[in-house]
């Protein structure tokens, strides 16, 4: 069953929007190569809040990719976002 990974992050007040987009594009280049990746959407929600939604084939694929997240990319994210407020969730779509 497909799994949605939702990450809500809050940028530091002095974080540059273009720097955020640059590191997000770097992440995109990496994530599209991960087994089980289907789609990724990045949302800018205002007031420094960013929402990253990734669709994976399975939750196991999502968690495997998270465990393999490149440390250098993680360091660039940590320089731009308050990691203490970051929230990551996984869920499956519910038919309505």
> pLDDT tens for residues 3-46?
999 999 999 999 999 999 999 999 999 999 999 999 999 999 99
Tokens (6 digits) for 38 = 């289907």
Closest residue by Cα to residue 39 from 87, 93, 81: 93
Residue range 50-80, pLDDT digits in tens = 999 999 999 999 999 999 998 888 899 999 9
Tokens of 45: 């929600």
Q: What are phi and psi of 70, to 5 degrees?
A: -60, 125
pTM above 0.85, yes or no: yes
Which helix (DSSP H) or strand (DSSP E) does residue 7 occupy? Answer: strand 3-10
Q: For residue 48, list its beta bridge partners.
A: none
pLDDT reported for residue 52: 97
């Amino acid at each position: 069953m497909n799994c949605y990974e939702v990450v809500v992050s809050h940028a530091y007040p002095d974080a540059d929007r273009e720097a955020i987009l640059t590191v997000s594009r770097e992440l995109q280049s990496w994530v599209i190569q991960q087994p089980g990746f289907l789609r990724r959407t990045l949302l800018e929600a205002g007031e420094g809040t960013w929402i990253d939604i990734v669709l994976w084939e399975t939750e196991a694929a999502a968690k495997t990719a998270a465990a393999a997240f490149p440390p250098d990319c993680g360091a660039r994210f940590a320089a731009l976002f308050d990691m203490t407020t970051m929230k990551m969730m996984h869920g499956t779509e519910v038919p309505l």
